[in-house]
Amino acid sequence: MKLSSLIKNLYQQIFVGIVIEHTSMRVCVQMRKGNGVVKEACKEFEISQATPSSEVNNYIKNFMDESPFSYVAVLNDAITQGAVPTCSMHEAQKYSDLGSCVTLCNENRWMVYSEKSELNALQRRFSQTGVDFIFSPFFVLSAFFADKILLKPSLYVLIQEGALSLCVFSAGELLFATHYITTDAVESETMSEELEESMEESLGFNLDEDFSVNLDEIDNLDELDALDDLDNLQDLDDLDELDEIEDFEESLNEAVEKSEIALEEAKTKYDIKIDDFSDDYKRFQLIQAALHQFYNDEKYSSQFIEDIYIADACKTGHDLEGFLEEELFASVYKRNIDMNKELIKMAVAEAKHAI
């Protein structure tokens, strides 16, 4: 055994796993000695702009001060990230422009990538505690489903509160991967377009055109106020004409009122339709779009997907499974995943490998 290993065994090792959400940050800490866990603690903090507060930093530092061997692992929350089925930079360019990205190869078979500026920003956010490991969600998926990715072609999905990561593995080989941000703050452009098209098709009108109202025409009704001036009336014929104009004004007002009611009803119907689109249905749409890309883009070695494995980090309901089974005719298997503990598990393996 190396001297460094002997020294490490004399101390507790501190492993910190951090998962960043849009408005919160969950931190889990394991104090380990040898192969066992001596103590474990987890806490969730409210944050702003995905940046750890002084409270978060102090919480982590208090644990790190207990041992000279401390490791901080963070899940990569970059918007621009993904994975490609090659470790050749030349081959990778046909899948994505990686000129401004940092890449990491996995067993010389496939690699993950992330925008360099976003990784640098992530490290700056944790400058007070430091970051030892930044794990890609695709590495998390491949580790979490290590017993499945060696089998037939299957789709693997990691569901987080604000993100969706998808990849296809066959016999241990990565065939396809994509990553979506699903938070309202940074909503996917693809998702917005798909939802709008779905709304217009189901309701039968164009949101931009059919919800337009010519305010100038409505304002012209104010001119009818001039009819109240009766000083110029000379005979009964004038009164008859006034009656006709007043009748016209009444009919026009009724028409405008009916139009406003119809417009309000249409808007209400649209709002109800939007509300009916649950988070699970939105996720289903993204999964469906990803599979469509996998099947139809010649860059990918597409194979038919019969099985879908879901790692659920936010405890969704059963709606998504139903959508996938009914619409895609796939067999769906879902496992709950504790992202913080999974990060710690991966960090422990990396720390052992580094000894």
Residue ranges making up the domain that contains 62: 3-75
Output 352 or 260, whichever has higher pLDDT: 352
pLDDT digit string, tens, across residues 169-210:
999 999 999 999 987 634 434 444 444 554 444 445 454 554
Same-domain pairing of 221 and 321: yes
Q: What is the DSSP letter of 250?
A: H
Question: In whole angstroms, what is the distance from residue 284 CA to residue 281 CA?
Answer: 5
Same-domain pairing of 106 and 62: no
For residue 133, being part of any structural domain is answered with no
* pTM for this predicted structure: 0.73
Same-domain pairing of 155 and 261: yes
Quick one: average pLDDT of 316-333?
93
Q: Is the pLDDT of residue 257 over 90?
A: no
pLDDT at 34: 82
Quick one: average pLDDT of 318-331?
94
For residue 252, being part of any structural domain is answered with yes
Same-domain pairing of 151 and 239: yes
Contact between 161 and 316 (Cβ < 8 Å)? no
Same-domain pairing of 270 and 314: yes
The count of domains in the chain is 3
Question: In whole angstroms, what is the distance from residue 288 CA to residue 295 CA?
Answer: 11
Q: What is the DSSP letter of 51?
A: B
